[in-house]
Amino acid sequence: MSIDQIRRGLSGFTGKMTSDESLARFTTYRLGGPAALYVEPADRDDVVELGRALAGSDDPPPILVLGRGSNLVISDEGWPGIALRLSPAFSFVEPADPGLRAGGGTALPLLANWAARRGLAGMEFTIAIPGSVGGAVRMNAGAHGSEVKDRLHSTVIFDLAGGGLTERTVADLDLSYRHSNLSESDVVLDATFELSQEEPAAVKERMEAYRKHRAETQPGAVQNAGSVFRNPPGDHAGRLVESAGLKGFRVGGARVSELHANFFIAGEGSTAQDVFDLVREVRKRVAERHGIDLKPEIRFLGAFRDQSEGMEVV
């Protein structure tokens, strides 16, 4: 089924729907080309409507579910299928037993601040992660020794490919280091977290310590996507990159941060291909120097040149 056929089939869709929408502004790298079809569901009914349209296709177009784009590099050529990004209606936090419930589009720092003001402990680590609740569930995001799986109670998922709405417990998601069993077509609509009650001042103090640590050790007001590589067992990717002499190493307009070697900066005039080539070259040099094959934490989507060295591209 073609993109045009999918679009014509969305007769009941009330949210935003555009062709050839640039995806660069939806990622923290601010790079990447357009999506063949960009959709922004206004509510849960719109998500179901899209699933209904896709269910009638024997050969559906590829689906990209966007959060806040903090771990994505989208090809300069763009995305050949459907890119879905939840509307502001999916950004909310509210009390829920046993802690709080948040929409899939909710920014993690917003969630952390909401919980801290109410003395709900357990989500302070998310103040340092510039992603969304949905992305955090999908990647089992973590920082400062904590991970989403430590506090996640359950989540509501809509499978665009299968058309089903399900509530899954944390045990259903097979969460491990930067991993879940969610597919590309799964959309996290909301999530419930199990938190504990503490004095708000204590929660805020811990959160502010994490915020300060981030400001002191990670590049902030520049285009990057957070940690590039997963930490290998018993070591840190940043240490390995730095000890290979690669701080400041550059490919095209992209470079390894001088502040933290596991952060790569997209400078003025850089392209998504530059970032891809930089990641591949750094990975190669670290393997030559240390004998360790670093696995990218960021995801590459779309068409990139020279994918012959084990670089996974969706």
Residues known to be catalytic = 178, 227, 297
CB 69 within 8 A of CB 88: no
| Residues ≥6 apart with Cβ < 8 Å to 178 | 139, 140, 141, 142, 230, 297
Cα gap 102→110, rounded to integer Å: 10
Q: What angle do CA 125, 142, 249 make, to 5 degrees?
A: 110
CB 39 within 8 A of CB 82: yes
Cα gap 156→48, rounded to integer Å: 13
CB 74 within 8 A of CB 67: no
| Phi, psi torsion values for 192, nearest 5 degrees | -110, 135
Alpha helices in the chain (DSSP H): 3-9, 44-55, 108-117, 133-139, 200-217, 237-243, 272-290
**Sign of the C-alpha dihedral computed for residues 296, 239, 306 and 269 taken in this order:** positive
Helix (H, G, I), strand (E, B), or coil: what is residue 265? strand
Q: Give Cα 43 to chain centroid, integer Å.
A: 21
CB 87 within 8 A of CB 68: no
Q: Give Cα 156 to chain centroid, integer Å.
A: 17
Q: What angle do CA 242, 300, 77 make, to 5 degrees?
A: 125
Structure tokens at 42: 């206004």
Helix (H, G, I), strand (E, B), or coil: what is residue 260? coil
Cα gap 217→207, rounded to integer Å: 16
